[in-house]
Amino acid sequence: MDISIVTPSFRQPQWLRLCLSSVADQEGVALEHLVQDSCSGPEVEALASEFPHARFVIEKDEGMYDAVNRGLRQSSSDICAYINCDEQYLPGALAKVVRHMKQHPDIDILFGDVVVTDEHGRYTCSRQVLPPRYAHTKSCYFSTFTAAMFFRRRILEDHGMYFDTAWKDLGDAEWGLRAFGAGLKMGVLRAYVASFVDTGENMNLGENAKREYQRLRSQPPRWPVYLSRVWQAHHRLRRLVHGLYWPQPFSYAVYTLDEPDRRRTIDVQRPTALWRSRL
């Protein structure tokens, strides 16, 4: 297998169907897809027979990050990733990722670009990424999307880079800080590889996420927090220098709740980096 994908699942069968489809139609890559479901019920169990490419493990877990860890421990590929139910891979994404990581064996963690959509798959904005920095992550936020994050199995085995299950919403940010501490090399694939649905109820918008954000900032060292405005300005300057505020026209294809059996292609003539609902 070239790549292992883990999907944590809990009572989102309509979104899981779309996610499963987006993995099943990936071409040019050998993959395994492990769905770690926390006993959602018959609707999710029925999907197992519809998507034989995926391996379903149905058992109680202690939350999303525990589910991801369980899936990773059962996976077998050199390259690993996890994608949530309400996220999708774009056509050909995984072949691009595998090819890039084979060409750059020194990269431990790879980030790709993401298309943000609404619940109907309509375009919201483009999120083109840069390798995150420690100070900005510590004082502001983890500036990448886990839907477009890929990493080597060696960081699990050599550095214990599983997710800390004490975190329920911001485990990815805590994971990123540990990755910086371990000196892991991060890279970027300048290509749209995944879509993220802005439902307005995403985990990082909830009250628990806000509490965990304050908890993350309060942990030592605290020096980046005192200069948070500096790191925020620095991050914006980096994006400006790399031209990421002016994305070029493009098209993408996703499965939608209205058309779950085929990808719908959307042409974006006036892309924007501005995520208006998050301002």
Residue showing tokens 């993959």: 31
Which residues of the chain fall short of a pLDDT of 50? none
pTM of the model: 0.95
pLDDT, position 1: 84
pLDDT (tens digit per residue) in 69-121: 999 999 999 999 999 999 999 999 999 999 999 999 999 999 999 999 999 99
The CATH number of the structural domain formed by 3-278 is 3.90.550.10
Tell me what pLDDT residue 200 has.
75
- Give the domain ranges of the chain: 3-278
CA angle 180, 154, 150 (to 5 degrees): 65
Residue 120: strand, helix, or coil: coil
Cα 202 from chain centre: 13
> What is the reported pLDDT for 279?
64
Tens digits of per-residue pLDDT, 2-23?
999 999 999 999 999 999 999 9
pLDDT of 199 reads 82
pLDDT reported for residue 57? 96
pLDDT at 149: 98
**What's the pLDDT at 189?**
98
Q: Residue 133's Cα: distance from chain center in Å?
A: 17
What is the DSSP track for 70-115?
HHHHH---SEEEE--TTEEEPTTHHHHHHHHHHH-TT-SEEEEEEE
